[in-house]
Amino acid sequence: MNLQCGNKYLDLVNPVVMGILNITPDSFSDGGKLYSSGSEHISHCLRAAEQMIVDGASVLDIGGESTRPGATVVSSEEEMARVLPVIEAIHRDLDIIISVDTSNPTLISEAAKHGAGLINDVRALQRDGALQAAAKTGLPVCLMHMQGEPDNMQNNPHYSDVVTNVKGWLLARVDACINAGISPQKILLDPGFGFGKTLEHNLSLLKHLDQLAALPYPLIVGLSRKSIAGKLTGRPVDERLPASLALAQLALDSGAKILRVHDVAATMDMLKVWRAVREI
């Protein structure tokens, strides 16, 4: 399957890696490593992006609003000021598909103009105007499941059946996108591990991920360094790579097509081994 992302194509016949570039001061995973207001900010982001490309990333996901548990919403102006210059620079200097991680309808529109090729929204285009803005860009969209908002999503999340509920909710968002004029061939899904889910919910989703992968929409999975890895191993964020790789491999076995990760090189090594065994 070839997914047209602006003027580039993403080959999803085999699984690929999406590298995460957080342009935020409060990222759960890196503590705002790429966030700076100094003159070296753009060049620093470019170096990080270039290294991810060298390491094997097929897509870079750029976000300017933290969605960690308890995170607060930033203004539209601040989010755009963080993200647009980075998208513009990467689009200008590097050959890579750019995904914009946002729920902001204005940023969705502007990011497309600046070179983004994919819209990745943790709120599945539910904010006022987001669905219409995404449809106008003509770009593919990734719809993620989240129960609640980042500031309250971990306050006692509840499901009658997490797999059935997440699947039904995502399909309802798919219908909304199609009704807004977005082609079904341009829709991707993300079950939203860690977004309004307990450890048991996350484990159940992972165990039954094949039910979501069986849908006619490519599956993006983000498990890198998340709380599921921390709770299972007792490790802090910067020591969760082995667990993250194990979780990613389980997702691959169940049909995930895109792995959204912080550690591109290590994930690519795992993916190469996984592919070699599968192709024998």
Selecting among 260, 272, 275, 278, the annotated active-site residue is 260
Q: What are the distances in angstroms from CA 121 to CA 69, 99, 163, 185?
A: 16, 10, 20, 17
Q: What are the distances in angstroms from CA 162 to CA 34, 145, 157, 193, 222?
A: 34, 11, 10, 11, 17
Selecting among 82, 173, 226, 240, the annotated active-site residue is 226
Residue 56 near residue 264, CB atoms below 8 Å: yes
Q: How far apart are CA 28 and CA 218, in angstroms?
A: 26
Q: Active site includes 260?
A: yes
Q: Active site includes 68?
A: no
Neighbours of 172 (CB within 10 A): 11
Chain centre distance of CA 56 = 17
Q: How far apart are CA 168 and CA 162, in angstroms?
A: 10
Catalytic residues: 226, 260
